[in-house]
Structure 1
Amino acid sequence: MSMADDTTAHVEGEPRFDGTPKAVWPLYEVFVRGKRGLNHVHVGSLHAPDDTMALHNARNLYTRRNEGVSIWVVRGDAITASSPDEKDPFFAPAGDKVYRHPTFYDIPDDVPHL
């Protein structure tokens, strides 16, 4: 089987590969929620031609031992993040709102488990 045949072979039920070179595939960030976890944790990145293939590849790469119950794949260019260099001006507005801090409230003695 030639390289051209490899890119066009298709298994029923699996995503179809369109032959686009890997160098132009978008980067996806992968988040997995473990069986004992309550939230998704960033576990790595991968390149894939589309969302479906990214999800399949993430499953195969990051949950090989059945340690996950949920996977998120997010295109890297769809993520907007704050810069660590701008942390002071970005998060400073919360500093003057003391009512948002847990120390602002007195917990009554009759409230259990706090």
Structure 2
Amino acid sequence: MTDVTAEGGHGAVPTGAGVPVEPRPALSRRDWPLYEVFVRGKRGLNHVHVGSLHAPDDEMAVHAARDVYTRRNEGVSIWVVKSADITASSPDEKDPMFAPSGDKVYRHPTFYEIPEGVPHM
């Protein structure tokens, strides 16, 4: 039987001879990744960005987000995303990014004529 330990709070970890155990480098709090936190409220349909926090891993980020951003039971779902994994457009790119849709008039309801036989539209 292999000896086990629950050192570090990560559950049973084998410690017997012949069991390879790779040490994980310890990160200081300064090196923890930054996470963006999104919470869906009880009555809301969408997750809303509520803030950011640092955490050592994804699971701890969810727990920390719950503790920090839903203290009064205002949420039903939490998303955490590493800030480094988010790609976003810049507000400076607003015109080149969104202007092309303005010249596609078929996307606007006023482009289409409503037939006379349609009672409600």
Measured against the shorter chain, the TM-score band is 0.7 to 0.9
User: What is the number of equivalent residue pairs in this alignment?
Assistant: 99
Deviation at 1:106, TM superposition (A): 5.5
2:72 maps to what in 1?
65
Structure 1: segments with no counterpart, 5+ residues: 1-7, 13-17
Deviation at 1:95, TM superposition (A): 1.1
TM-score normalised per structure 2:
0.72
2:38 maps to what in 1?
31
Q: Secondary structure at the match of 2:103?
A: coil
1:96 maps to what in 2?
103
| Cα gap change, 1:100 to 1:49, in 2 (>3 Å) | same
| Cα gap change, 1:100 to 1:10, in 2 (>3 Å) | same
Does residue 110 of the first structure (1) align with residue 120 of the second (2)?
Answer: yes
Structure 2: segments with no counterpart, 5+ residues: 1-6, 12-24
* Paired amino acid for 1:69: V
Measured on the aligned residues, the alpha-carbon RMSD in Å equals: 2.2
| Cα gap change, 1:41 to 1:105, in 2 (>3 Å) | farther
* Paired amino acid for 2:40: R
Aligned identity (percent) is 72
Q: Secondary structure at the match of 1:94?
A: helix
* Paired amino acid for 2:9: H
Q: How does 1:5-16 map to 2 (within 5 A)?
A: 10=9
Task: Give the number of the structure whose alpha-carbon radius of gyration is greater.
Answer: 2
CA distance in 1, matches of 2:107, 2:66: 39
Deviations 1:29-60, CA, capped at 9 Å, x for gaps = 00000001110100000000111100110011
CA distance in 2, matches of 1:10, 1:102: 58
TM-score normalised per structure 1:
0.76
Deviation at 1:110, TM superposition (A): 2.4
